[in-house]
Structure 1
Amino acid sequence: MNAPRFSNAARYWRSPLVPDADMVTAEYYDHAFTPHWHDAYTVPVIEAGAECYDYRGSRYVAEAGSVPVINPGELHTGARAVDAGWRYRVFYLPVPFVEGIAREMSPRAASPWFAAEIIRDADLARRLVIAHRALESAGSRADPLAAETALVDAVSTLLARHALERPSAAPPAADAVRVATMKARLADDILEPVTLAELARTVGLSTFHAARLFTRETGLAPHAWRNQLRIVRALPALRAGASIADVAAASGFTDQSHFTRHFKRAFGVAPGRWR
């Protein structure tokens, strides 16, 4: 007998105990996340089912009990890996928060960095779920001190057992400099229309070679990378209560439906529901 499939339902929420962090409690059946990134450490715990995702040039399958951490700013996708879909809890932890705990553990600690391999550590998964549930209920009758203690315990366990130092970056090659230049041009004014020809001229390449280089190095075509940047930059205004139509216009999207479509592909819910 086949297991009942999950629905497509997600609840994003925040806690005053973790300033600027986002958390989500969700399950998905047929939603597929397009390539996107977050500015925070993404720390999920798969509670049931399984999720597959593309990350750093490989495909991974995270089953129940696993912790597939994604580093800040790194491109990834997400979709079901089994017929029923998957259910998970996710922390989106700000970089300063994670770095702060790392420094408390060791004053010489650098920015924590996690390998691409899925973390399979049942005790860690248990601690993360306890902390997530405690934060979710801390606004009601739960003890906020207990919730914060559980969070620090979970994150410090993650860092102590699985964090690495980020590999030293090699001097940028010519192609990396070209891609950085194109990114800067796309990010400079997200409301200004930019043609591929203009982008190519900034790095002295043909339109064909500029588009191919950018896509190869970032994993996204220039227009898709710019739309993802627009979504990330739209989050503060959305949190602050600005109307979705105003946020869409200020972020450079054609209209509200255009913004909503791209937002849902990256976050799994419409912007109104996310807020």
Structure 2
Amino acid sequence: MTATRFSNTARYWRTPLLPGADMLTAEYYDHEFTPHWHDAYTIPVIEEGAECYDYRGSKYVAEAGSVPIINPGELHTGARAMDVGWRYRVFYLPVEFVQSVANEVAGRAQPTPWFPADIIRDADVARRVQRAHQALEGLEVLESAGDPLAAEHALFDAVSTLLVRHAGQRPPVAHMRLDTARVESMKSRLVDDMSAPLSLTELAQTVGLSTFHAARLFTRETGLAPHAWRNQMRLNRALKGLRAGASVTDVAAASGFTDQSHFTRHFKKTFGVPPGRWR
């Protein structure tokens, strides 16, 4: 854990992949939040330091790696719990969005989700929330350099996992039948133009499924999430160009990667060496 004092810096931002939601990337040293509430679900992940807050008549301390959720409309405060302060990422998710994810998970209408006051200490969930926030922020900051398919998948993965594991009334996961035809249709859509941005919502609409069920069906039948499967197809296409002696830059562009560094990162993860060395 860091011994350097945090500053008081905060940035609110939005993404078109999640209309009506606000996101916060911040660190605080001596800032203190007065009692207030949000109309949305407040879903933070503490990255470093620790935050203390009053909520539902009790005092809580959320340390690094924890997810202290606040339900919509409920009063809470916030201040440092360590001398250095704290750094965190926060989703402010509209009630309608979280409700829709719960309905999609169950395959039918569910009661309005709520979360117990206890801090969630689940390292896997914390990683999923952090990964989704980072992926969406990457799209917002870097624009075309991000991958909307991967970012939206990470978002639905984080929220659905939170609901299934930690909601007060957990939505049952609907049974899903084999549907090879729909999976093949999604594969065709994914490879139709691998250089074109594609969101998970758009992919799901191709086969008439909800976003959650399209991702779940595809992952179950292929073993990979849609964005990971698409990147594998891009890499397979890239091998032919590399064998033919094309430059790494040209191969990256022709294979649908946003830039050479994006291509190199995925290539090395799959083949163990950078594309130039492989060639």
**TM over 0.5, yes or no?**
yes
Alignment of 1:162 with 2:166, yes or no, is yes
Structure with the bigger RCO (C-alpha within 8 Å, sep 6+) is 1
Distance 2:109 2:169 in 1: 11
Structure 2 residue aligned with 1:77: 77
| Amino acid paired to 2:88 | Y
Alignment of 1:151 with 2:152, yes or no, is no
Cα offset, 1:138, TM superposition: 1.4
Alpha-carbon deviations, 1:178-227, whole Å to 9, x = none?
Answer: xxxxxxxxxxxxxxxxxxxxxxxxxxxxxxxxxxxxxxxxxxxxxxxxxx
| Amino acid paired to 1:123 | D
Structure 2 residue aligned with 1:112: 113
Q: What pairs up with 1:231-246 in 2 under 5 angstroms?
A: none
Cα offset, 1:109, TM superposition: 1.7
Count residues in correspondence. 166
Structure 2 residue aligned with 1:9: 9
TM-score of the superposition, structure 2-length normalised? Answer: 0.58
Cα offset, 1:4, TM superposition: 0.9
| Amino acid paired to 1:134 | A
Q: What pairs up with 1:1-275 in 2 under 5 angstroms?
A: 3-106=3-106, 107-139=108-140, 140=143, 141-165=145-169
Alpha-carbon deviations, 1:14-44, whole Å to 9, x = none?
Answer: 0000000000000000000000000000000
Distance 2:167 2:111 in 1: 10
Alpha-carbon deviations, 1:249-270, whole Å to 9, x = none?
Answer: xxxxxxxxxxxxxxxxxxxxxx
Cα offset, 1:149, TM superposition: 0.5
Cα offset, 1:165, TM superposition: 3.3
1:100 alignment partner, SS class: helix
| Amino acid paired to 1:20 | G
1:127 alignment partner, SS class: helix
Distance 1:97 1:124 in 2: 19
Distance 2:40 2:169 in 1: 17
Distance 1:76 1:159 in 2: 21
Distance 2:27 2:117 in 1: 23
Distance 1:87 1:143 in 2: 25
TM-score of the superposition, structure 1-length normalised? Answer: 0.59
1:50 alignment partner, SS class: strand
| Amino acid paired to 2:169 | E
Alpha-carbon deviations, 1:109-135, whole Å to 9, x = none?
Answer: 211110000000000000111100000
Structure 1 residue aligned with 2:226: none
Distance 1:39 1:111 in 2: 14
Greater gyration radius: 2
Distance 2:34 2:49 in 1: 20
Hey, which bits of structure 1, 4+ residues long, moved more than 3 A?
Answer: none
Structure 2 residue aligned with 1:260: none
Structure 2 residue aligned with 1:227: none
| Amino acid paired to 1:90 | V
Distance 2:157 2:43 in 1: 14
Distance 1:128 1:162 in 2: 13
Distance 1:54 1:110 in 2: 26
2:79 alignment partner, SS class: strand
